[in-house]
Amino acid sequence: MTTSTVHTTPSDDSDSVFERACLLIETELGGRRLPPEPRTWVDDLARTRQHKTAFITAVWNTCFPSGLVEACRVVETVYPYLGRDGLCTDAALTAAWNVLEPDAHTWPEKVQNERRRFTDDCLNRALAEANRAVTDHV
């Protein structure tokens, strides 16, 4: 005996081939889709490493550290102070500022404020670039 699937609603071809195949399997075989696998601590660790690597690269390209070691130091000092949503906080900016401009306390206040705003912009751009890099690879 052969069965066939009759669609009661017209297809608008917006579904992917995969979605249509899943729908066919669900309809024909009475199956159900498997939920995504739960994330493990290893997955989180790998994602954190990817993000830190992307963040180091972005800091190197946008924040003008004196070298790669300083870029790594910036990321390591900033990382614990990032917000829950992965955005830069005041504490993160201060941590980066202390690494990038250790002698800033000797500068005039106006110069300090200008350089701090510049560092804030650079750090936010680097963080956005790192977030995009990790999101693109997920």
> Given pLDDT bands bounded at 50, 70 and 90, which one contains residue 12?
low
Percent of the chain residues past pLDDT 70, beyond the cut: 78
Does 7 reside within a domain?
no
Does 15 reside within a domain?
no
Sequence-distant (≥ 6) Cβ neighbours of residue 54 within 8 angstroms:
129, 130, 133, 134
Does 11 reside within a domain?
no
Tokens of 10: 């017209």
Does 19 reside within a domain?
no
Query: How many C-beta neighbours within 10 Å does residue 118 have?
Result: 14
Does 118 reside within a domain?
yes
> Given pLDDT bands bounded at 50, 70 and 90, which one contains residue 38?
low
Does 10 reside within a domain?
no
Does 119 reside within a domain?
yes
Decide if pLDDT at 69 tops 90. yes
Question: What is the domain extent for residue 61?
Answer: 41-136
Domain count for the chain, please give it: 1
Separation of CA 97 from chain center: 22
Does 103 reside within a domain?
yes
